[in-house]
Chains A and B, each alone.
Chain A
Amino acid sequence: MNFNRDVLSSLILIGIATIYLTQILSLPPPFITEEPGPALYPLMIVFVIYTSSFWILLKGLKGGGKALFMKGLSRPLAFIILSVLYISILTSIGYFLSTTLYTLTIALMFDYGKRRIDKSLAYCSIVAVLVTLIGYVLFEILFGVSLPKWGI
């Protein structure tokens, strides 16, 4: 049996479609007398996803999909974790501190291995402060949008 990206993706899609289907079951029936109800259209979508995903699954099991193992996923994973943290703290610690920390860590990820660590830290800190300031000027000063302050 080939367990490749096609197989994995189709299994995840079938899972998503099943969760979606459980929600459809809580809606009024597809046809209320002769009127189409809110469940009709989602049922059609689920049908398309199920049939197409099974097709991909069968094709994947026969072979042909890309190998499951992916190199270099640690950096994207780090970015996702950083973004989760950023969204979590944005409104509690405010725009300036959260954005400076967030952009600093992303800059460090892009700068990694390009210069000595102390120089990289100094360079990325300047980038982070500048990016944060530009964001402040663009959103708050030019477009008059209120950014989250500390403790708000």
Chain B
Amino acid sequence: MAIEIINWLIALLQPIVFISFLLGFLIGLIFGIIPGLTATLAIALLLPFTFGMETVQALATCVAIYASGIYGGGITGTLINIPGTPGGAITTLEGYKLTLRGKAAKALTHGAFSSMIGGVLGTILAIILLEPIARASLVFQTHDKFSLVLMAIVVVSVLNTESIVKGIISTALGLMLATIGIDPLLPIPRFTFGVHSLTEGISLIAAVVGMFAVSEVLRQIEVGLDLSELAKRGHQKISRKELVPKREDFGKIGLKIYPKSALIGFFVGVLPGAGAAMAALLSYAEAKRSSKHKEEFGEGSLEGIVAAETANNAMCPGAIIPMLTFGIPGDSVTAVMLGVLLIHGLIPSPYIMFEKGNVVGPMLVGLIISSIMCYVSLLILGPLYAKILNLKGTVLYPFIAMIAFVGVYTATFSIPQLWMALFIGVATYLLSKADYPSVPFLMGYILGPMFENYLRTSLSISKGNPLIFLTSPLSAIFLLLAVIFAYFLGVRLSRVMKSIQ
């Protein structure tokens, strides 16, 4: 194993790969820090460029964006009380209170340090678990896979939304979008409305760019947020000497919170559609429940920051596992990363680690290194973080719009795909105006083809008898889990979230 890890590290340290990796880290950090921009958007914009990259280079760049984008979300929250990404919301709750007391450096230090620990522990867990998961999944038959994907669809629908029904509709719209084009089992075009170019379906790039880039530019144009004004608010002088965690802080925080939060984050990551915000929230709730200093929560608690940041970075490797092994992404970022895998001809499978270890391995090592870089980047760039907010919307959004449309064009060389990207972007924007979430829309689109394929193949095997899904023990377990998740995540968890809010 040690030799394999060294080989993965060598592959990652190839000059071109490592330069892309570092650039990816910086881009992810910037997108994480700037409110409205996310790691998902960064990878969506990167998608067209990955055609011209080697597989290892593309995946390493993606994981660097992923780790730094998730980490960056908490920085803005700490400095200006506006989380850069949804995953940074809990860190904001505690971090900004410390900033108001002149302790921004302390909040940033523990945020970065725990992001590093969370990312490293989570990735080690992922490496350990990949083989047992692969062996366990050997017994999965088509109908079991259908129930597994159905469970994922149920979880995606009930999470990420205040209204479960709206979550269900968003997922169904994503599933609907994925049916456009040639039928997966028969050579029949569906839902093309007589438009010949729609027979190829809607490309992943057009869908992702529409959902995340076009809709975001629309939102920002509507809001007209002036980031430079926010940057002034976050102006607190930070020296590099303050950015080293102190021993007495660890004494107060305790060391148990790191592995516990990493475990919570990792397993939340495995749940489809849960994402960083959910990981941070659950870990924070558990830290508050078990803390000896409950009164400090909500008033600038370091424990709260550590719990949230450890969990949201441990979530990243957790979300990668089901994406790699079953093609079921853990969150919106891994959903887009799945597109990168497919572009490079990598089909997710339980054996991917054994068959394509030379490609997947460097990605996992990249996740460890980018987690370490979260803290290293604080030491180097920490005093400059607030200045990133000086990036003007006048420059940023024309750039995003250009990359989005030209990216779709260069990836597909199809004008109809550009129309689809615009249409999907406008639809996502309008749906968000009526509180329909966008993550289930994406997940429905990604999971749709697999879901239909497993459904129809299973029914063909059973000669149309749907009881096949209940008579197989594994399938029945997944269906039962779907019901349990629907209850706990849809009903119970919303109560926990309301109590924290």
Contact = CB atoms under 8 A, between A and B. Distances in A.
Given A131-B395, A139-B406, A145-B410, A73 B222 contact: yes
Interface stretch (B102-110, B241-249, B432-440): B432-440
Contacts of B345: none
Interface in B397-424: 397-399, 401-403, 405-407, 409-410, 415, 418-419, 422
B176 interface: yes
B456 interface: yes
Interface residues of B, number: 63
A27 B188 contact: yes
Interface stretch (B164-172, B267-275, B366-374, B377-385): B164-172
Interface of B: 48-49, 51-52, 163, 165-166, 168-169, 172-173, 175-176, 179, 183, 185-186, 188, 190-191, 193, 214, 217-218, 221-224, 392-395, 397-399, 401-403, 405-407, 409-410, 415, 418-419, 422, 426, 429-431, 433-436, 451-452, 455-456, 459-460, 463-464
B376 to A, nearest CB: 27
Contacts of A9: 430-431, 434, 436
Contacts of A35: 459-460, 464
A143 B406 CA distance: 13
A134 B398 CA distance: 12
B190 A38 contact: yes
A13 B191 contact: no
B169 A52 contact: yes
Chain A contact residues: helix, strand, loop or mixed: helix
Contacts of B185: 38
A65 interface: yes
Chain B contact residues: helix, strand, loop or mixed: helix
Given A72-B222, A76-B221, A90-B409, A41 B455 contact: yes
Interface in A38-90: 38, 40-42, 45, 48-49, 52-53, 55-56, 65-66, 70, 72-73, 75-76, 78-80, 83-84, 86-87, 90
Contacts of A114: 394
A23 B189 CA distance: 11
A128 B190 CA distance: 41
A107 interface: yes
A87 B405 contact: yes
A127 B406 contact: no
B51 A143 contact: yes
Given A5-B433, A48-B168, A135-B406, A110 B224 contact: yes
Interface string A24-44: 000110010011111011100
A100 to B, nearest CB: 10
Contacts of B434: 5-6, 8-9, 65-66
B157 to A, nearest CB: 10
A8 B51 CA distance: 41
A103 B429 CA distance: 20
Contacts of B186: 37-38
Given A20-B191, A75-B224, A36 B406 contact: no
Given A8-B434, A34-B463, A145-B410, A107 B190 contact: no
Contact of A145 (B52, B191, B401, B405): B52
Given A42-B179, A102-B401, A48 B222 contact: no
Nearest to B429: A76
A90 B412 CA distance: 14
23 contacts: A8-B434, A23-B191, A27-B190, A28-B188, A34-B463, A34-B464, A38-B183, A40-B456, A42-B190, A73-B222, A75-B224, A78-B221, A79-B217, A80-B422, A83-B214, A87-B419, A90-B415, A95-B406, A110-B221, A134-B399, A139-B48, A139-B407, A143-B52
B399 A110 contact: no
A127 B395 CA distance: 6
Given A23-B190, A83-B214, A102 B394 contact: no
Contacts of B193: 23
A79 B172 contact: no
A45 B398 contact: no
B176 A42 contact: yes
Nearest to A38: B183
Nearest to A115: B394
Nearest to B435: A66
Given A38-B188, A127-B394, A131-B402, A56 B166 contact: yes
Contacts of A117: none
A9 B175 CA distance: 18
A3 interface: no
Contacts of B188: 27-28, 38
A27 B394 CA distance: 48
Contact of A87 (B166, B172, B398, B415): B415
A79 B218 CA distance: 7
A49 B173 contact: yes
A138 B403 CA distance: 9
A28 to B, nearest CB: 7
B436 A131 contact: no
B107 to A, nearest CB: 31
A135 B402 contact: yes
Interface string A113-152: 0100000000110011001101100110011110110000
B199 to A, nearest CB: 13
B49 A143 contact: yes
A104 B409 CA distance: 20
Nearest to A128: B398
